[in-house]
């Protein structure tokens, strides 16, 4: 760990200690138990799916795979970490990293699964549904108190310099993977081989990715969350869309790139270039006090311009937006908050925790906040040829250039996604 990151992490822990003390005092809690969570076995089996530690646990201890463990926070006392570390010859014993958070905590290695001892007015948060808890010492115990969780979620919305450094490093590592996918595409690899090239270059095993990488060749690029990897390469290569990430100390990168292949119509390559330009323009618009919803609407206006400029729509930009044409070409939101979770918490709430849902006209938007310094968001405009969404428009008089749509459909679609931090004066793009 570099000296800089070491100092930043120490400051991050101090910041959390103060913020938790304020939140708990405000809400009248003397102690808080955060459960890491644990993986459950597949039905009638003894194997578990991959697991991700609860975000509020990771916020303190940046380990994404801790299970059956507890973190106890009591203001004015050192955090207590009860780390499940069974004496077990089947697995490598739990080892702690040499990082500042470890020395800031009292660490108890537990050979058994324990129940935390809580005092005073206590709260427990985390995935505790399957646990039998013995919390007799506490005067009262609130399980999953909404107001407390909302306040802790709100805290996570604003990243400390340590968290931003981790997100930047996650981006750097992910980008090495993305470069390898481009090379693999040029080498006519299959989706599976492109995925393997990504994992190798970004130095991670598949179970460690923050979300299932989307590797879509040709029309698969138009399946928003395409979930397979074809083993064979297609005969023709129109396009490749790669939406792939990386964790670093729990923090996630979420990057998308799209490439035109040798068999794509020239118009597709021009559209990819235009979408890079749109992404850059939207990144530059990120600044304090900007409404993310307005930025999303700006994306639709620019998409309208691209549809008109590239002859996909023969009406006006205003008509393309007003008649829902841009929404048929891009059904998802402009982006979301990013942090310990890829779709991070509190995106659809006001700062006081009350709901701020996506408007009916843009139901897939995951972030309706006004941007403030410290927030980290994705900017991911897209343009797709999705038959299910475009088919209803074919029976209308809307001046869509169906001939060109049909020519471009085998290319699937385009998404370009960067990760951006809101700074005091504007933005910093974390994606190299
Ligand atoms: N990779 C999921 C997303 O972009 O939101
Ligand atoms: Mn993504
Ligand atoms: Mn994203």
State the pLDDT at residue 91: 85
| Residue 135: pLDDT over 90 | no
- Nearest atom within ligand 1 for CA of residue 245: 1
Which of 129, 157, 185 is at the close of a domain? 157
Q: Which domain holds residue 217?
A: 161-429
State the pLDDT at residue 205: 97
CATH number at residue 121: 3.40.350.10
Which of 157, 177, 212 is at the close of a domain? 157
| Whether residues 256 and 399 fall in one domain | yes
| Whether residues 181 and 300 fall in one domain | yes
211 lines ligand 1 (CB under 6 A): yes
| Whether residues 378 and 407 fall in one domain | yes
| Whether residues 148 and 169 fall in one domain | no
pLDDT, tens digit (0-9, with 9 covering 90-100), for 232-263: 999 999 999 999 999 999 999 999 999 999 99
State the Cα torsion 128-132-138-142 to the nearest 10°: 40
Task: Please tell me whether the overall predicted TM-score, pTM, comes out greater than 0.85 for this model.
Answer: yes
CA of 296 to the centre of ligand 1 (A): 16
212 lines ligand 1 (CB under 6 A): no
Pick the range with the lowest mean pLDDT from 26-35, 139-148, 171-180, 259-268. Answer: 139-148
CATH number at residue 209: 3.90.230.10
Ion ligand 2 residue ranges (Cβ < 5 Å): 243, 254, 256, 417
| Whether residues 139 and 8 fall in one domain | yes
Concatenated DSSP letters for 98-126? SSHHHHHSEEEEESS-------SEEEEES
Which of 127, 157, 187 is at the close of a domain? 157
| Residue 355: pLDDT over 90 | yes
| Residue 411: pLDDT over 90 | yes
- Nearest atom within ligand 1 for CA of residue 417: 4
Number of domains into which the chain is organized: 2
State the pLDDT at residue 43: 97
| Whether residues 141 and 22 fall in one domain | yes
| Whether residues 280 and 216 fall in one domain | yes
State the pLDDT at residue 256: 99
State the Cα torsion 179-247-330-229 to the nearest 10°: 60
CA of 330 to the centre of ligand 2 (A): 14
| Whether residues 144 and 180 fall in one domain | no
* CA nearest neighbour of 10 among 82, 99, 74, 95: 99
| Whether residues 125 and 53 fall in one domain | yes
Rounded Cα gap, residues 50 and 52, in angstroms: 7
| Whether residues 150 and 168 fall in one domain | no
| Residue 139: pLDDT over 80 | no
| Whether residues 135 and 251 fall in one domain | no
pLDDT, tens digit (0-9, with 9 covering 90-100), for 290-340: 999 999 999 999 999 999 999 999 999 999 999 999 999 999 999 999 999
Pocket residue to mutate for ligand 1, from 414, 417, 418, 419, most atoms within 8 A of Cβ: 417
| Whether residues 294 and 273 fall in one domain | yes
pLDDT, tens digit (0-9, with 9 covering 90-100), for 75-123: 999 999 999 999 888 888 888 888 889 999 999 999 999 998 899 999 9
């Amino acid at each position: 760990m570099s000296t800089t990151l070491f100092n930043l992490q120490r400051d991050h822990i101090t910041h959390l200690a103060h913020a938790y003390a304020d939140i708990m005092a405000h809400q009248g809690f003397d102690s808080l138990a955060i459960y890491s969570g644990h993986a459950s076995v597949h039905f009638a089996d003894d194997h578990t799916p991959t697991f991700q530690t609860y975000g509020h646990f990771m916020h303190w201890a940046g380990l994404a795979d801790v299970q059956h463990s507890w973190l106890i926070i009591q203001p004015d006392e050192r955090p207590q970490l009860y780390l499940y570390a069974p004496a077990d010859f089947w697995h490598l014993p739990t080892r702690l990293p040499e990082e500042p958070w470890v020395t800031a905590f009292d660490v108890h290695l537990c050979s058994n699964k324990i129940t935390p001892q809580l005092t005073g007015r206590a709260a427990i948060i985390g995935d505790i549904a399957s646990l039998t808890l013995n919390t007799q010492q506490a005067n009262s115990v609130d399980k999953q108190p909404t107001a407390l969780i909302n306040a802790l979620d709100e805290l996570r919305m604003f990243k400390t310099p340590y968290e931003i450094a981790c997100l930047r490093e996650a981006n750097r590592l992910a980008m090495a993977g993305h470069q390898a996918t481009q090379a693999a595409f040029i080498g006519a690899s299959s989706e599976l081989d492109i995925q393997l090239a990504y994992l190798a270059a970004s130095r991670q095993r598949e179970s460690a990715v923050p979300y299932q990488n989307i590797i879509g060749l040709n029309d698969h690029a138009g399946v928003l969350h395409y979930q397979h990897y074809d083993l064979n390469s297609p005969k023709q290569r129109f396009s490749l869309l790669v939406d792939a990430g990386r964790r670093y100390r729990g923090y996630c990168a979420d990057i998308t790139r799209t490439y035109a292949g040798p068999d794509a119509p020239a118009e597709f390559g021009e559209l990819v270039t235009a979408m890079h330009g749109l992404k850059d323009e939207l990144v530059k618009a990120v600044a304090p006090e900007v409404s993310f919803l307005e930025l999303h609407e700006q994306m639709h206006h620019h998409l309208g311009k691209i549809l008109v400029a590239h002859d996909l729509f023969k009406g006006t930009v205003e008509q393309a937006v007003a008649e829902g044409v841009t929404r048929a070409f891009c059904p998802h939101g402009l982006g979301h908050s990013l942090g310990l979770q890829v779709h991070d918490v509190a995106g659809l709430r006001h700062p006081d925790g009350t709901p701020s849902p996506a408007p009916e006209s843009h139901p897939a938007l995951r972030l309706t906040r006004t941007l403030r310094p410290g927030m980290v968001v994705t900017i991911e405009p897209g343009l797709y040829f999705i038959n299910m969404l475009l088919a209803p428009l074919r029976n209308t008089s809307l001046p869509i250039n169906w001939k060109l749509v049909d020519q471009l459909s085998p290319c699937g679609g385009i998404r370009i996604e960067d990760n951006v931090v809101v700074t005091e004066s504007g933005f910093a793009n974390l994606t190299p």
